[in-house]
């Protein structure tokens, strides 16, 4: 896994934990921060995934033609 995967996974988990803490202590600020981190990490992951897919070069359907040696007359 790359560093972006690890950082987004940690933001995802942190957002979930903050949401649970905010809900348990009736603290709206912490809860909303958790929701924003939770949803934001998913959105950033999807944007990066789609960007990587568009950046890929398409595979050639047919292999390149072999280079023929010149023929002497």
Model pTM?
A: 0.71
User: Residue 45: which domain range?
Assistant: 3-54
Q: State mean pLDDT over 45-67.
A: 81
Is the pLDDT reported for residue 63 higher than 70?
no
Q: Tell me whether residue 72 is in a domain.
A: no
Domains held by the chain: number = 1
DSSP class of 14: H
Residue 21 in any domain: the answer is yes
Is residue 16, in this structure, part of any structural domain at all?
yes
Identify the DSSP state of 67.
P
Quick check: is 68 in a domain?
no
Q: Which two tokens stand for residue 39?
A: 């949803």
pLDDT at 2: 86
Is residue 67 included in any domain, yes or no?
no
Q: Specify if 36 maps to a domain.
A: yes
Cβ partners under 8 Å of residue 15, min gap 6: 33, 34, 35, 36, 37, 38, 39, 40, 41
pLDDT of residue 66: 73
* pLDDT for 55: 86
Q: Is 33 a member of any domain?
A: yes
Tens of pLDDT, residues 2-49:
898 899 999 999 999 999 999 999 889 999 999 999 999 999 999 999
- Give the ranges where 1-73 is alpha helix by DSSP (H): 3-24, 28-55
Is residue 73 included in any domain, yes or no?
A: no
């Amino acid at each position: 896994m790359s560093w972006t995967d690890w950082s987004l996974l940690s933001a995802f988990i942190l957002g979930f934990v903050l949401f649970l803490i905010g809900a348990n202590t009736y603290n709206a600020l912490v809860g909303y921060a958790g929701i924003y981190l939770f949803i934001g990490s998913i959105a950033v992951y999807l944007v990066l995934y789609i960007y990587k897919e568009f950046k890929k070069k398409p595979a050639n359907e047919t292999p390149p033609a072999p280079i023929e040696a010149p023929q002497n007359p």
